[in-house]
Chain A
Amino acid sequence: MMKYQMLKVLIVDDEEGITDFMGKILRLRGFSTFEALDGISALEIFKKERPHINILDIRLGNSSIDGLGVLEQIKKIDPSARCIMVTRVTDETAINKAKELGAVHYLLKPIDAKEWVGVVLEVADSILEGENNGKSHS
């Protein structure tokens, strides 16, 4: 688990129970985590911390900027940033838009922790593999 200790993960969801326990589960694996409940806070954290992986809920309640907006901004700041989108099966248009904007994965709610962790680890391993091959995270 120590191999992930250099990696930072931003978790954005308007449901605090989700950000709280996603963070706890990832910290068990050595990741550093940052949590945001709205789009504005998410972008502030992204600019400051430059997380390696960003887990973004597409629908962010009353937030002035939704998950797709956050994804778009993050990609403008750092095109190599890895973003995993979380949404619901009824959001087909948003899923397609997220793919166009460069999201590496999308997950559907209700989330299954085992499946979700598997996706995060897959992305984390690809980052570490890239670094080992001399391609550092910008």
Chain B
Amino acid sequence: MANPIPNETELYERIKREQIHIHPLIWDVMYHYLGDYISVINLIASFYIEQNVPMPLRDARMILAFTHRIKDVVDKILHPTTILEEDGQLDKIKGKNISLHPIIKEFFTHYISNDTYGINLCVSFYLDPLDEQPILVEDVKKILEYTSSMREFLERLREVTSPD
């Protein structure tokens, strides 16, 4: 759903050519958190799309909370020095000098952050205290598309950074 980075193809090729990898611990932590959070948002959105009914505020708030968690995890993966002891699995990557390559950071910021932001904005609009209302199905479909976009990005990134 996030618009492609203008030189995206070139960057993916560079990742392959220069064999830029992502440390297995980072993948592990990423899937541990993002895997769950993206799955929950996808399931919630799918449920209301299938019934063709607006998403109630209670579940909209749950989605908003998950976007905050995704943002927090991505921020900490991008900036491991901010990881705290109480951050559970994230603590595994702190102090191990396994930071991400700048291109990977750019991809993460662009795709995961923008898609999460898209969901956050959409939900926040409906949760505006001045006019709270259930999320219309057409916008729930957009939320689902954002989750698909994040899944596709993670799959593609894993593919190009996998050692041959």
Residues of A within 8 A of B (CB): 15, 17-18, 21-22, 24-25, 28, 59, 88-90, 108-114
Closest B residue by C-beta to A57: B36
Contact A112 B62 (CB under 8 A): no
Contact B47 A21 (CB under 8 A): yes
In the complex, what residues of B have CB within 8 A of residue A111's CB? 38-39, 42-43
Contact B47 A15 (CB under 8 A): no
Contact B46 A114 (CB under 8 A): yes
Contact B27 A113 (CB under 8 A): no
Of B8-16, B91-99, B122-130, B146-154, the segment with at least 4 beta carbons within 8 Å of chain A is: B146-154
Cross-chain pairs A/B with CB under 8 angstroms, 14 sampled: A15-B40, A21-B40, A21-B43, A25-B46, A88-B32, A88-B35, A89-B27, A90-B24, A90-B27, A109-B35, A110-B151, A111-B42, A111-B43, A112-B147
Known contacts A88-B35, A112-B151: does B66 contact A17 (CB below 8 Å)?
yes
Q: Which of B32, B40, B50, B158 contacts A18 (CB 8 A)?
A: B40
- Residue among B31, B43, B62 facing the most chain A CB atoms (10 A cut-off): B43
Q: Which of B43, B44, B51, B158 contacts A89 (CB 8 A)?
A: B158
Q: Which of B31, B46, B62 contacts A109 (CB 8 A)?
A: B31
Chain B's interface: helix, strand, loop or mixed, by majority? Answer: helix
Residues of B within 8 A of A (CB): 24, 27-28, 31-32, 34-40, 42-47, 50-51, 62, 66, 147-148, 150-151, 154, 158
Known contacts A90-B28, A113-B46: does B51 contact A28 (CB below 8 Å)?
yes
- Not counting A15-B39, A90-B24, A111-B38, a sample of 8 additional A-B residue pairs whose C-beta atoms are within 8 angstroms of each other reads A17-B43, A18-B43, A22-B43, A25-B43, A28-B47, A90-B28, A108-B35, A110-B37
| Complex: A17 Cα to B41 Cα, angstroms | 8
Known contacts A110-B150, A113-B43: does B36 contact A28 (CB below 8 Å)?
no
In the complex, what residues of A have CB within 8 A of residue B154's CB? 110
